[in-house]
Amino acid sequence: MKQFFFRAPSFLLLLMLTAAFGFGCKSKRSDGPKKMAVIVSTLNNPWFVFLAENAAAKAKELGYEAKIFDSQNNTALETDHFENALASGYSAVLFNPTDADGSVVNVLKAKEAGVPVFCMDREVNSDAATSQILSDSYSGCVAMGKYFVQQLNKKGNYVELLGLVGDNNTWQRSKGFHSLVDYYPELKMVAQQSADFDRNKGMEVLESILQAHPNIDAVFCGNDAMAMGAYQALVSAGKPNVKVFGFDGAEDAITGIGEGKIAATAMQFPKVMAETAAVYADEYLKGKREFPKKMPVAVELVTKENIKDYIAYGKKD
């Protein structure tokens, strides 16, 4: 009995704190307009800035508050952003994951909290996301591979710069490319290395590869940032005629194709992906529950032959 009296105030205090915390959370969710969090892998690449800004802009257009969180390619920071977003009462997450496996835990956490997650451009290896709107990187790189083979007349030495090894896009692009190029035995890949989708790393990695393999005819890069870095390395090494192939449809690459610096890129449509994710999230919050688990967005090959049809991150109307 003595024990009961001793513990009762603590119990009551705990009960009050729990109730206050619970009501506090509830009030955050119900006050003011609903909010969408845009959690993006990095804002250190203009392509992802464009993706995030378009997602936030579409969310605002649909009547939501929107805030962009930069994960800086760091899954731990991404986890912090998810925790903050869930604690701050965001109703949905428009998500560009950092790592296909490493980001799953964050999506699961949101799902448990009843907050839908819509992946943009990058995939998580889980069906916990409400829907994943993804570029068809594989098909884009099959088309790229065909153009690559034609440009090199089916023979030559080349280097492949891979993106982040934990990102599915890295491997979808590489697999699409090799699904065609590997049928040509006279096309020899002399080096394959990751440069993390980063322009500076792309330059440094290719500079290092060129020390060991100075005679190359082409460089295939998993994105345009690495392609621009690779081009810089080639110019510094006095090899500006080596053909460089990118992926994304970023502004530098589109200009580069026009100027003959870049041979080709694969145009993704970040605005389409970002806006589709925001529209899906809006539909979810209005009660819709049936969404395609994966929604591929077609990727288009851009070369000097059709450059007039394209602008950075999209098509001319």
Partner 1 sequence: MKKTLKYILGLAALVFVAYNSVYFKKLDAVRASAHKQFDASAYARKYYDTRLKPALKNAVEINQLLALARVDKEAAFNRHSHALGIGNIRYFLVQGTGEITGINENDVAVISKNDSTQSALKIATEFVFGNAIRDASGLINLNEFSSTADFNNVSAEVNKIVRNEVLPAFKSTAKKGDRVHFVGAIELNRQHLKLDDLEIIPVALNLIKDK
Is 248 among the residues that bind partner 1 (CB under 8 A)? no
Question: Which residue, 122 or 199, has its beta carbon nearer to partner 1?
Answer: 122
Closest distance of CB 227 from partner 1, Å: 22
Q: In 3D, which of 174, 176, 222, 230 has the Cα closest to residue 197?
A: 222
94 CB contacts (<8 Å, ≥6 apart)? 36, 37, 38, 39, 55, 56, 59, 118, 120, 274, 277, 278, 281
Token look-up 């009030």 returns: 27
Contact region for partner 1 (CB under 8 A) — 84-92, 185-193, 229-237, 293-301? 293-301
Beta bridge partners of residue 174, listed in sequence order: none
Between residue 222 and residue 241, which ones bind partner 1 under the rule CB under 8 A? Answer: none
Closest distance of CB 300 from partner 1, Å: 6
Is 188 among the residues that bind partner 1 (CB under 8 A)? no
Question: Which residue, 259 or 317, has its beta carbon nearer to partner 1?
Answer: 317
237 CB contacts (<8 Å, ≥6 apart)? 207, 210, 214
Beta bridge partners of residue 95, listed in sequence order: 39, 119
From the number of C-beta atoms within 10 Å of its C-beta (0-12, 13-18, 19+), residue 9 rates as exposed
Between residue 269 and residue 288, which ones bind partner 1 under the rule CB under 8 A? Answer: 269, 272, 276
Q: In 3D, which of 58, 46, 44 has the Cα closest to residue 273?
A: 58
Is 8 among the residues that bind partner 1 (CB under 8 A)? no
Question: Which residue, 2 or 316, has its beta carbon nearer to partner 1?
Answer: 316
Question: Which residue, 218 or 297, has its beta carbon nearer to partner 1?
Answer: 297
Q: Which of 43, 44, 189, 296 lies at the binding interface for partner 1 (CB under 8 A)?
A: 296
Closest distance of CB 241 from partner 1, Å: 24
Alpha-carbon span 157 to 215, nearest angstrom: 7
Is 143 among the residues that bind partner 1 (CB under 8 A)? yes
Alpha-carbon span 301 to 267, nearest angstrom: 6
Pairing mode, if any, of strands 35-40 and 92-95?
A: parallel
Is 128 among the residues that bind partner 1 (CB under 8 A)? no
Question: Which residue, 86 or 312, has its beta carbon nearer to partner 1?
Answer: 312
Is 88 among the residues that bind partner 1 (CB under 8 A)? no
Q: Which of 116, 166, 176, 202 lies at the binding interface for partner 1 (CB under 8 A)?
A: 176
